[in-house]
Structure 1
C-alpha cells in the first residue's frame, strides 16, 4: 500500500523539516521527486539523502513568491502527479505589533507562494486528467493561537484555497486537501528557542511540548506519513478536507 511508483511529485520547502521528511518518504515509496527550496545547500542535503537511500530526486532552487521563477521550474519538470505545498514561514506578534513589512512577508510566502505553485501545477494536471494536491495549513486556522496574527491569517487562507481548488477541479480528476499540524520539532523550533530564549531552550521546549495534550511535539516523519496517505491512490475518495494532526490540541485543549 501507499506506493508512488510512476508518480512525479513536487515538494516545496523540501530543504528541511516536514518538506524534507516528505520528500525522503515519497522517494522511498517510488516517486520521482522534485524538491524545491530557496536554500540551495539545504536542498543538496535532502537530495543526497534521497539518492543515498536509493531514491530518485532532482533539486530546484526556487523562490516560490516569484511566479516567473515557479513557472520556469514547473515547465522544466513538465508533468506533475502530486504537489505538496510545504514551504512556509512563521511570525510572532499580535495585530497591533505586526508591522506591514512582516505581514506582507508572511503573506508572500505562505499565501502567494502556494497560489503560484497551484497556478502552474493545475494546467499540467488538467492535461493529464488527474492530480493530487496537499497544502500545509495549521491548527492556527482552526483555533486562536496567541501572538500568531499574521501566521494564522495566512493559514486560514491556505484552508480556503484548498476548498476552492477541490471544488473547482473535482470534475477534472484533481483532488486537493490540507493538513493542520500542531507543533512539530523541526530546525525552525530549535532556532526560534535559541534566538528568543537563550539559556532557557530546554525549559521552553518542554513548555511548548506540553501545549499538546499528548505531551510532546510531533516529529516531521509522523506528518509525512499522513501526507503520503492523502497523496496516495488509497485516498482516492478524499478531497476538500482539512486533517488535523495535532496530538489532541484542537479537541482536547479545554
Structure 2
C-alpha cells in the first residue's frame, strides 16, 4: 500500500504545529512527516521530530552529511534514540552561503555507512535527483548508495510523468518515495530551472490547478508502481494544495 508523507519546514514550533494540526485533522491518509535540515532556522530537523511525534509516529529528519565530522560520533544519535526515530534521510547538502557553519569532507555515501554502523536499527533513506546529472550517472549513484547500505530513496520533486516512468524502471524492487512540489509563480519557475536544472514539460503552467492535476496523476503512478509519495508544499497553503489531491 502506498505510504504518503508530507515535508514540512521547521520555521518555528508555532508554524510547524499549525501545519501539523491542519494535516492531521483534514488528511487521514497522510501517515508521517519528513523534516528538512535548514541552517537558516534555529530548529534542527531531529529536534523538530519531537514536535512531529505529538501527531505522527513516522518522523523522518534530514541529515546533511557535510555538517557532520566523520571522525566523531554522530552528534544527533542520542536524540534519535530518545525520540525513537526509526527513519532518516541522508543528503550531502549545499555549503552555507556565508560559510559561518563548519563543513566537512563527508558525502552522503560516507554518511549512509556511518549511520548503518552507529545506528543499525535506523532505516536510512538516500536522496536521488533526476535533474542533477545524466540518467546513466544517476543510475550508477543509486547502485553505489544501495551498496553503501541505503534502505530506500526519496527523490527530488518530479514534474514530468515520462521521466518518472524512466526512473520507475531503475527503482524496481526498491523502497522509494516519489517527490512532488507545487511551482506556482514565474519566480519559482526560474529558481527551479537555474538552481535545480529542472526541465518543465511543454504543457506546464505555474498554477495551483496544473500542479494539483499533475500530483493526482503522479500519485496514481506511485500506486501502480507500489511505491510511496511525499508532498513538499512550498509557498502554498498546505490545505489548499493537499485537498485537491487527497480528497
TM-score, L = length of structure 1: 0.39
TM-score, L = length of structure 2: 0.40
More helix by share: 1
